[in-house]
């Protein structure tokens, strides 16, 4: 039985595992590894230390679907809407440039619920399912005949017949071993052209009696060099629950994130909070605060041509994917997962 490793339990990796389980006709052992302690990647939902507050989305905030993608990805949107994972966004987002051919969706349980849904659909109920492992940080790839030896930061290396890499491109390029030997000069050039934005995000968790008196569910800020976006996250997600305090999410601007990228979160947090209190004077005292640094926030420059994936080696298969190979939103990740699925199906079906 072929062994397939998908590195990265974000949207692209989780959907790839789900679709591979659903559509592959041959029995394959699938594993999904992520270096974090939980799934989601940049679709991250943070739970407060105190259970009396709502959770908060520190990464992706909502999903915007064009009419074209609503049609081409109809089955996935229908699945997520039917399961209650997605709901139409109804609240006011101040400063949002709405287009006539788009529709916005929110996730009542947090954006991470999309990833968890696809991972649950790929769970190992039989030999074609997927096994999920956290805190497995891949450090190197070494070709061993018809297999890949995958080394991780802690623990023994393991052998796989096919490897799918969905982490940010700079992390792919940092891998030790044989990857660099098999990348062509053109592929290396294309990968080095990928550019990401960077930013900081802060979640503030409030007690149940806190009142956030703003007319919007989220707001794009245009006159502040530090803060770009603020959301009453629980309200934005249609998730206000009696007895739970609201949560507030703040994203910095890209220039601020780039300028302070190497600063510690502990030094950045008070700067952001000072600017936040200028924007929202009289803000109640939160129970707790969490600060997140997104070194690889959104893809500003994708791999040329947006191919969806990059096949590094056919046998044993090594393929790279993610939003850097398409575009940086939900449908871009879907396009990449579908692109890699076709390569995996062809390779694994042809395998002896």
- Give the pLDDT confidence of 138-150 residue by residue, as tens digits: 999 999 999 999 9
Asked if pLDDT for residue 338 goes beyond 70, the answer is yes
CA distance 146 to 162: 9
Can you give the pLDDT at residue 126?
A: 52
Are residues 10 and 152 both part of a single domain?
yes
- Domains of the chain: total: 2
Sheet of 218-220: strand order equals: 93-94, 218-220, 227-232, 247-252, 199-205, 288-294
Confidence at 208, pLDDT banded by 50, 70, 90? very high
What CATH code is carried by the domain that includes residue 291?
3.90.660.10
pLDDT attached to residue 173: 98
Q: Quick one: 143 and 291 in the same domain?
A: no
pLDDT tens figures, 4-31 = 999 999 999 999 999 999 998 788 999 9
Same-domain check for residues 201 and 263: yes
Q: In this structure, are 29 and 165 located in the same domain?
A: yes
pLDDT at 99 over 90: no
Sorting pLDDT into bands at 50, 70 and 90, what band is 127?
A: very low
Q: Is residue 91, in this structure, part of any structural domain at all? A: no
Q: How many residues would you count in the chain?
A: 352
Over residues 165-191, the mean pLDDT reads: 97
8 Å CB contact between 36 and 135: yes
158-174 pLDDT tens trace? 999 999 999 999 999 99
Residue 69 inside a domain? The answer is no
Q: What is the pLDDT of residue 242?
A: 87
Residue 311 resides in a domain? yes
Least trusted range by pLDDT, from 51-65, 95-109, 283-297, 311-325: 95-109
Over residues 187-214, mean pLDDT: 97
pLDDT at 80: 98
Give the mean pLDDT of 254-270.
Answer: 97
7: helix, coil or strand?
strand
Indicate whether 223 belongs to any domain: yes
How do residues 24-35 score in pLDDT, each as one tens digit? 878 899 999 999
- Do residue 27 and residue 171 come from a single domain? yes
Q: Assess whether 189 and 204 both reside in one domain.
A: no
**Final residue before a domain boundary, out of 299, 315, 336:** 299
Residues 184 and 328 grouped into a single domain: yes
Whether residue 66 lies inside any domain: the answer is: no
Q: Which residue range forms the structural domain that includes residue 232?
A: 196-299
| Neighbouring C-beta atoms of residue 27, cutoff 10 Å | 11
For residue 151, what are the β-bridge partners? 140
CA 34, 40, 44, 49 torsion-angle sign: negative
239 assigned to some structural domain: yes
Is position 206 within any domain? yes
pLDDT at residue 351 in the model: 57
Task: Judge whether 118 lies within some domain.
Answer: no
Residue 240 has pLDDT above 90, yes or no: no
Contact of 77 with 117, CB cutoff 8 Å: no
The average confidence (pLDDT) of the chain is: 95
Which carries the bigger pLDDT value, residue 99 or residue 267?
A: 267
């Amino acid at each position: 039985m072929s062994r397939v490793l998908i590195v990265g339990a974000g949207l692209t990796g989780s959907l790839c595992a789900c679709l591979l389980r659903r559509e592959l006709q041959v029995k394959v052992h699938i594993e999904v590894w992520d270096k974090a302690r939980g799934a989601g990647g940049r679709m991250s939902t943070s739970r407060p230390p105190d259970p009396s507050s709502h959770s908060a989305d520190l990464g992706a905030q909502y999903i915007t679907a064009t009419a074209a993608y609503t049609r081409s990805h109809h089955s996935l949107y229908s699945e997520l809407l039917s399961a209650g994972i997605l709901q139409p966004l109804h609240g006011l987002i101040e400063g949002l440039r709405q287009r006539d051919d788009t529709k916005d969706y929110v996730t009542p349980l947090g954006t991470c619920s999309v990833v968890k849904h696809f991972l649950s659909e790929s769970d190992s109920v039989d030999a074609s399912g997927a096994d999920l492992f956290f805190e497995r940080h891949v450090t190197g790839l070494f070709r061993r005949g018809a297999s890949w030896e995958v080394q991780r930061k802690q623990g023994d290396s393991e052998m796989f017949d096919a490897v799918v890499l969905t982490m940010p491109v700079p992390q792919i390029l940092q891998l030790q071993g044989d990857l660099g030997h098999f990348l062509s000069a053109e592929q290396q050039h294309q990968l080095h052209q990928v550019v990401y934005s960077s930013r900081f995000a802060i979640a503030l968790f409030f007690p149940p009696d806190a009142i956030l008196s703003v007319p919007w569910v989220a707001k794009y800020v245009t006159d502040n060099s530090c803060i770009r976006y603020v959301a009453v996250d629980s309200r934005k997600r249609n998730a206000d629950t009696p007895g739970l305090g609201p949560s507030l999410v703040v994203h910095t601007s890209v220039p601020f994130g780039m300028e302070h990228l190497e600063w510690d979160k502990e030094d950045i947090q008070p700067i952001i909070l000072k600017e936040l209190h200028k924007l929202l004077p009289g803000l109640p005292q939160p129970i707790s605060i969490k600060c997140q640094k997104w070194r690889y926030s959104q893809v500003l420059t994708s791999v040329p041509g947006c191919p969806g994936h990059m096949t590094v080696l056919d046998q044993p298969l090594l393929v790279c994917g993610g939003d850097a190979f398409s575009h940086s939103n939900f449908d871009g990740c879907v396009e990449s997962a579908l692109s890699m699925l076709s390569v995996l199906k062809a390779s694994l079906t042809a395998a002896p």
